[in-house]
Structure 1
Amino acid sequence: MRVGFGSDHAGFFLKEILKKHLEEKGFECVDYGTYSEDRVDYPDYGKLVGEKVASGEVDKGVLICGTGIGISISANKVKGVRAAVCSEPYSAKMTVRHNDANIIAMGARVVGEDVAKMIVDTFFSEEFEGGRHLDRVNKMMKIEEEN
């Protein structure tokens, strides 16, 4: 699986840790930046990774900023993206199972390294359940189409 990574300066160190963690598990990780702790704007990276996921260039995405909120909102502005901020594994599990999320976001100032690893492990081990949840995802995507 190809996974696109993006972060701002606040998430840089955690992005590097999670990339290495997933590469050790056999994932192909594509880093879209940022590449240092120099100040940058999170919307640029949320948009970029969102576009790469939506186009199919990568299968899923991982985004990290200080809280995970701003970068996920930015990604969710891209048509076809379903990005969820998760601060613990249960939410990561349910956002895949029920929402068919294609991007996980988290806050480097909110979660520690070990919890972040558990979150991505959970996110990438789950599958969308479909069924009644597909109807709900389709309703969400219809809102996107109408607006």
Structure 2
Amino acid sequence: MKAKVAIGSDHGGYALKETLKAFITEKLGYEVLDVGCDCPDSVDYPDYANEACSKVISEDVQRAILVCGTGIGMSIAANKMPGIRCALVHDTFSAKATREHNDTNVLALGERVIGPGLAQDIVELWLTTPFSEEDRHANRIRKIQTIEDSYANHP
């Protein structure tokens, strides 16, 4: 088994989450930790973003994937958490670039924006593309961390 990935959704992303779970385990060979939701009934996306990202922060998983109707709400909620670099992605170019250049550890997708085929292509690229670790990219990640740290104890 490859790395462990958390996946979470609200009701607007439930169907795509279920499709991606099977794809990630069966086609890509990753272990998936599903943090919910468990049905298409209305729920609040911040709860599931928090649950999935908490698994990344605690290092129970290496990365997380979040799905809601547009991906916007999930990405906003995720990026409020320390150490999370979440990218909202709806194309393959951005999926690859956000791993190579930004070392993202969380991916947000919108079920109402993209179809399952494109979502699978995005997820595969995002999971298999390494961070480039070139000095310029690593330096930018350090600067992001410095900004985050400067607000950690901000009232």
Q: Which category describes the TM-score, using the shorter chain as reference length?
A: over 0.9
Distance 1:55 1:14 in 2: 26
- Give me the identity figure in percent: 44
Q: Which amino acid in 2 is paired with 1:15?
A: K
The answer to whether 1:75 aligns with 2:82 is no
* Secondary structure of the corresponding residue to residue 67 of structure 2: strand
2:147 alignment counterpart: 143
Moved over 3 A (4+): none
Provide the rounded CA distance (Å) in 1 between the counterparts of 2:53 and 2:128.
21
Give the corresponding residue for 1:103: 106
Q: Which of 51, 54, 65 is equivalent to 2:54?
A: 51
Deviations 1:25-50 (A, max 9, x none): 21000000000001000011111111
- Aligned counterpart, 1:5: 7
TM-score of the superposed pair, with normalisation by structure 2: 0.93
In 2, Cα distance between equivalents of 1:95 and 1:34: 26
Report deviation, 1:115.
0.3
Work out whether 1:17 is the aligned partner of 2:19: yes
**AA of the residue aligned to 2:78:** A
Residue 72 of structure 1 deviates from its aligned partner by 1.0
**TM-score if structure 1 supplies the norm length?**
0.98
Match of 1:124, SS? helix
Residue of structure 2 in register with 1:116 after alignment: 119
Task: Look at both structures and tell me which one has the larger radius of gyration over its CA atoms.
Answer: 2
Unaligned runs of 5+ in 2: none
Q: Which runs of 5+ in 1 are unaligned?
A: none
How many correspondences in the alignment?
147
1:85 matched to which residue of 2?
88
**Structure 2 Cα separation of the partners of residues 96 and 34 of structure 1:** 26
Alpha-carbon distance in 1 for matches of 2:108, 2:93: 14
The one-character-per-residue Cα deviations of 1:62-95 (angstroms, maximum 9, x if unpaired) are: 0000100111110111100000000011101000
